Amino acid sequence: MMTKTLTSSAQDKVLRRRLGHTDLLLSPLGLGCWQFSNGNGLVGKFWPVLAPEAMTRIVETSLQGGINWFDTAEVYGGGQSELLLARTLKQLGSEEAERAYIATKWWPVFRTASSIPATIDERLRLLDNRTIHLHQVHQPYSFSSVASEMKEMAKLVQAGKIRHVGVSNFSAKNMREADRILREHGLRLASNQVKYNLLDRSIERNGILDAAKELGVSIIAYSPLEQGLLSGKYHRNPELVKAMSGPRKWTSGFRATGLRKTLPLIEALEQLGAKYDASPTQIALNWLIHGNGDTVFAIPGASKPHHASENVQAMRFALTAAELRSLSELSERARV
């Protein structure tokens, strides 16, 4: 399948959806920017250092293809992702780049809620004083309660430092508590960023997805392709697994037994791909953003420009209800 060339007019063809109870109208896909960590820090070393030219092309391709928001975090390279994202948007200087929405995250581990206001000016500085449209608590683990964190976030909204409040990796119980506290300040919880894809649907079983729908909170799905497993390339060429570096190659999904178990799902993605002139990756992303109405957004990353081009093509069509159900049934049998 050849990836189509996109033009700036594609921006106008992507339908927007509202993020939770906010006034933000976002594309169903955003660009996850962990890979812009510049090789810094323990978390940032997960990705190779990207050349500035590649980063520029990734961001530009995303914008031209209709993506209008970017998700970064304090812990991604110790702020390098925020810095390089803002620098790239400024260098592009296009109308799309200037209007782009920014989501970032506060790192809570070994910290108290008092570091939320203590670190926000650094977030703004690294982001070149762009508006932080969504500020998220990155993990549920800190030395402070959910209530304390939400109270500090609410103060930032009231001070005009951020626009909206989100969380990441929160349980259904903690989501409800976060929303309850924010309501006391005239606000609502906007989103919960969690792992979700065709091979990891745990949020459907642990109450997170149900709570999101009940509260009107958006789900932002990270790892939407299960670390590339849903691309099908490892099923078609298992030698690629042997060439992989890092711990990913030892996980159950990339073992021979795991590849055999998920092959029927990959074949279904390929068959639908033939119908829609799309790749298995694009079909998997389309299932995410259409399988639960407008509740779920997704943030695939892109370490190469052609990855960004493939991402945006996933927003050009919509699977039918029957196709969504069929993939859901197959994915339940494919769990590894």
Q: Which residues are catalytic?
A: 76
State both tokens at 102: 């920014």
Closest by CA position to 269, among listed 284, 259, 255, 289: 284
Is the C-alpha dihedral spanning 17, 24, 28, 154 positive or negative? negative
Handedness of CA 273, 280, 30, 98 (dihedral sign): negative
Angle at 161 between CA 28 and CA 99, to 5 degrees: 40
* DSSP classification of residue 66: T
Residues 162 and 152: beta-carbon distance below 8 Å: no
Through-space distance between the first and last CA atoms of the chain, rounded to whole angstroms: 28
Cα of 142 vs its chain's centroid, Å: 22
Phi, psi at residue 178, to the nearest 5°? -60, -45
